[in-house]
Every structure is written in C-alpha cells, then in structure tokens.
Amino acid sequence: MLIKPKRLQPEDTIATISPSWGGAGNPDLRWRYEQGVRRLEEVFGLKVVPMPNSLKGAEFLYQNPKARAEDLMTAFKDPTIKGIFANIGGDDIIRLLPYIDFDIIHKNPKIFMGYSDITISHLFCHKAGISSFYGPSILVDFAENVEMDPYTVDSVKRSLFSNEAIGEIMPANEWTSEHLAWDEVNKDIRRSKRQNSGYEVLQGTGVVQGRLIGGCIEVLEFAKGTEIWPDERYWEDSILFFETSEDKPDPALIKYWLRNYAVQGILQKANGIIFGKPQDEKYYEEYKEELKRVMKEYGQKDLPILYNLNFGHTEPKFILPYGAMAEINCVKGTFSILESGVE
C-alpha cells in the first residue's frame, strides 16, 4: 500500500517545479506560467511558490539536472509546502535519478502532480512508497486560454481537496488536442473542441477492480530495468493505465512495448487496462488493433480493456492517483476510483 498524502485546503502553499523541460522560465513563456499561477490562486485559493531553479529557463535546466533534482528535494523537505505541481513535462527526468533521495520523499508525503515525462517523477514517489497524481500541469491545463475547463477543475477538486471516494469518472463531453502557439496574442483565443465519443470496451466482461499503476507508455520505457521500475508485487491485481504523447508513436511501437509487459508477466498479473485518448485521435483505430493483437498473442483475450479515457495528453483531463483502488465495469462501460486519493 502506498502512503496517501494529506488533502489540500484553500490557503495552502504549493510549489511549482520544472523537473524536465524548463520552458516556464523562458522570457517568451513567462506570461503562460503566470497565468497558470493565477488560476491556482483564484480558482482554488492556493498560494504558489516557484522552486529556486524552476524558472531559470530551458537551457540552464537542461544543463543542470542536479539543480532540478534539488528543487524536487527542497519542495518535499519544506513543511510549509503541501503540494508540488509540475510546470510541464519534457523528455529527460530520468537524468535526475542519481540525485534523488527516496528517504526524503518517503518521510515527507505530500501531493505531487504532473503527466507525460513526469511519469518518471511518479516512479520516484512510487519507489519511496507514496501515492502521487497523474494529472494536469501548470503550462497546459491550469494556463488554458480564456479559462480552465470545468471538467479538469472538477477533477482537481475531487482528487486533491476531498478525502471522500472520487467515484465514477464520466467521459468528457468534448475534447481537444488543437495546438495554438503559446504566444501571448493568442491567450484570449479558445481552442476548438470536438464531440467526444465516450469510452469503448475493447474486450472483457463483468466488473474488475485493481490498484492504479502506469503512465505515459513511451516514458515508462525509460524506466525499465532501473531501480525505479516497480517491484512485481505492485503489478499484482492492478489496473494498468497507459497513454501516448504528442509524439504519436507508431502503432508498431505499442505492439512491441506491450509484448514486453507480457514477457515480464505484467499483463498476466493485471486485472484490467485503461488506455487514454490518443493525441488528435491519430492512430485511434490502429492502437486498438495492436492492443487486441498482443492480448490474443499472450492468451489475455478476456482481460478487460477500457479505451479512449480522458487522461494524459488530451484536454480536458481527469486525475489518476497511483495505488488507488479503481474499477472497470465492462457491462456498463464505466470507470470509477473507489477511494479517495488523499487523507
């Protein structure tokens, strides 16, 4: 069992960090960071402090992974900080691994949230024995043009501010992956949204439950074979969650990666899989075919798989707490988180 952090309350202080790409500190993007901070203050009543190195810009932070790790450790050690939110993802948090003190994280459980490359930071928390939250980032979701999406706001409140069971996660009515340049002249232009088709039951019957574990499927590849790859016991009776990034990996890669989970015995240990909406819905059908292909190859045709969920690289999004008990209902085509994410 992972340790749950304490819930957030208005007036709590949260830290913003840049454990991967440091663009939040670039002069041309600083407005975007400040817009995200205002939403944390105005929508959720939080106080926000940037960590010392987090706004020093992309080039400095790329050159100094130790400085990024120090920010993470500083945020966990500071008793006045109740939550840590990532500014954005990137592609090289794995470079922080030599500088991570897992004992510090374990002794100071608090809310940690982000997605994409932040998957690696979630595995830092996982190794340290604490639950963290696969969810929105400052530059993307909190700084959304015009206003935050109510679907995302609701998920933040249910997941981080309430110690009641999160409950059923309904599909978003609409979605977007539209890219509008992060130029300040665009800040009052809403991204166009498309009607969402809802969840699809790819295979499986009945109702299954399991503890959540997963992340961005490309980023998880960086961690295989390292000390942060979860122990076998964490895959037992799990619900795996996978999603793909804006790189839109070729469907063949999904096949190869899933085969690796099979040969590790992970697919056989799991009770079910949820798979996020592909960016732009590119390869929407192809990913489904590769999922079903690998399940058939390894005798897992009855493993429940729910597809097209609103988490990860799609907006709006909901939050997934690592280690929380969740449920896939193949009869109703629903997904629920059966407990709170916080104490």
Residues 6 or more apart in contact with residue 183 via CB below 8 angstroms: 28
| Structure tokens belonging to residue 128 | 């340290």
Distance of CA 39 to the CA centre of its chain: 19
* pLDDT on residue 89: 98
pLDDT of residue 240: 99
CATH superfamily of 13-165: Murein tetrapeptidase LD-carboxypeptidase, N-terminal domain (3.40.50.10740)
Place of tokens 């959720």: 44
Q: Are 99 and 66 in contact (CB under 8 A)?
A: yes
Q: And the tokens for 275?
A: 């798979």
Q: H or E segment at 201?
A: strand 200-203
**Whether the Cβ atoms of residue 270 and residue 210 lie closer than 8 Å to each other:** yes
265, two tokens = 């015995």
Q: Which two tokens stand for residue 17?
A: 């960090």
Helix segments in 78-190, DSSP class H: 102-107, 119-128, 150-160
- Asked if domains 13-165 and 174-337 share a fold, the reply is no
pLDDT in tens, the chain (343 residues): 999 999 999 999 999 999 999 999 999 999 999 999 999 999 999 999 999 999 999 999 999 999 999 999 999 999 999 999 999 999 999 999 999 999 999 999 999 999 999 999 999 999 999 999 999 999 999 999 999 999 999 999 999 999 999 999 999 999 999 999 999 999 999 999 999 999 999 999 999 999 999 999 999 999 999 999 999 999 999 999 999 999 999 999 999 999 999 999 999 999 999 999 999 999 999 999 999 999 999 999 999 999 999 999 999 999 999 999 999 999 999 999 999 999 9
CB 129 within 8 A of CB 152: no
The Cα–Cα gap between 208 and 76 comes to 35
Q: Where are the chain's structural domains? A: 13-165, 174-337
Instruction: Tell me what pLDDT residue 247 has.
Output: 97
Record the tokens describing residue 153, joined without a space.
Answer: 């706001």
Name residue, tokens 């996982």. Answer: 126
Where does residue 115 fall: left (phi above 0), alpha (psi -120 to 50 degrees), or beta otherwise?
A: beta
Task: Domain 174-337: state its class.
Answer: alpha beta
CA angle 37, 124, 234 (to 5 degrees): 120
CA distance 131 to 106: 10
pTM, full prediction: 0.98
Alpha-carbon distance of 90 to 118, in angstroms, equals 8
